[in-house]
Structure 1
């Protein structure tokens, strides 16, 4: 059955792009997957397509900016699956504007789902993850949280998600939990993608940006899904608090894409 046999997984933003690839990858390795997305029609279509191949995938409505919606989605996943072993935080909202043109409303439009959305999902899922011998959280961040690539509100939220990841990894480690006389622990890690070929990009733009990467191509959703699958699996049993760039070598190169993101 694969590395995720008898594992119950919840993937937020799983109807499209990276989230869809994650749902496909984990279900192909035996996981029972719940796709949580506010685009319910697309989530149901994705679940049906993946299930047609023999996987067990269901869809639930979820708006990560709404605490009640998140709580209901997690409750539905646990009720349907009987447990929850893995939470994948995949929702992120980006937008481009220079800082002097950035208004508070736009800041919240990007930061709320990207950072607070992950907070809400972890809060709702945590009691169930602590009951699981495989309990872990994998968040999808961005290299924007590591270096300056523009999109300041989105980037700041992704940087906050990295800090949340590392703090939770320590707070819910076996050492911390045992010191507090508590049972259960949760591994918490983050994958930081570079530029990925999704619907967020115009095809010609992402193709051009991809040529600036040392790997000479943009990333594909499957590249990120593979990294998420590793961190969520028993193969990463001694890994927690990790920020894993999956970026085609861009950060190692050191030559940032300033001419693309900051033209002129």
Structure 2
């Protein structure tokens, strides 16, 4: 539990917040005084997450939201403004990842389109709907959650392309929105222990030695970075990509090990 109060009076919309990183972000910002709308395509799970926050005395509501549908996104933005009086922070966590087939040429069009539509275009839809309100509040911030997949090859062609696209969208939107008083940044996680890895402890153990800091990430690690960039502590930061990956992309651990370096 943090003792900060950086989001007192802020209305905050978090997509993909029913579980995992999104849920951790919603919890962290609510703990810091934010009034959070927990949105997810899985509306019942979003409500369970919001209810758990309310049981802790925190301010949270839930709403089903499909970022693949413009009307659903606009309804979530309108609900945030209506419920909390303003929309000060948008956090784009919603994503979709389809496993690759063994051969690239067997990747179907619909799988490619789905990953890009939810992961990249979904964030675009949310930013488009939210931007006028973020500008009106005078302290607006957008933080999107990317992936190291958008920086290096870790498989998943469509998902990786979408996450790389978030980096470009972050920079171009930051340039556009700066004059309107809105900051736009991106957090790039490495491997994070979420439900996507459920039942795959052996895989997590296998990749752990690749991380210079000696462990995979936890959702709270990413939530802390998101909260920083969304807060006024980052008031002079926009258009940046903050990599939160335990050193994975900065240090070639395999190469160092092959040469016998500690």
Give the match for residue 37 of structure 2: 34
CA distance in 2, matches of 1:8, 1:91: 18
The 5 A counterparts of 1:119-130 are 119-130=124-135
Deviation at 1:187, TM superposition (A): 0.1
CA distance in 1, matches of 2:241, 2:193: 21
Question: So what's the TM-score if we normalise by structure 2?
Answer: 0.92
* Alignment match, 1:144: 149
SS in 1 for 2:60: strand
Q: Aligned match of 1:60 in 43, 51, 63? A: 63
1:250 counterpart = 2:238: no
Any gaps of 5 or more consecutive residues in structure 1? 175-183, 258-264
What displacement does 1:244 show? Answer: 0.7
The aligned counterpart of 2:191 is: 195
Structure 2 spans left out of the alignment, 5+ residues? 256-262
Correspondences of 1:218-257 after superposition (within 5 Å): 218-255=216-253
Q: How does 1:67-146 map to 2 (within 5 A)?
A: 67-97=70-100, 98-146=103-151
Q: Distance in 2 between matches of 1:254 and 1:63?
A: 38
Deviation at 1:256, TM superposition (A): 7.2
CA distance in 2, matches of 1:38, 1:148: 28
Mapped partners of 1:191, 1:169: distance in 2: 14
Q: TM-score, normalised by structure 1?
A: 0.91
Report the Cα distance in structure 1 between the residues aligned to 2:189 and 2:254, rounded to whole angstroms.
Answer: 15
1:161 aligned partner? 166
In structure 1, the partner of 2:259 is none
Matched, 1:206 2:204: yes
In structure 2, the CA distance between the partners of 1:256 and 1:167, relative to structure 1 (3 Å rule), is farther
Q: How many Å separate the matches in 1 of 2:254 and 2:95?
A: 22
Deviations 1:62-81 (A, max 9, x none): 00001111111111111111
Total equivalences in the alignment: 248
- The answer (yes or no) to whether the contact 1:172–1:187 under 8 Å persists in 2 is yes
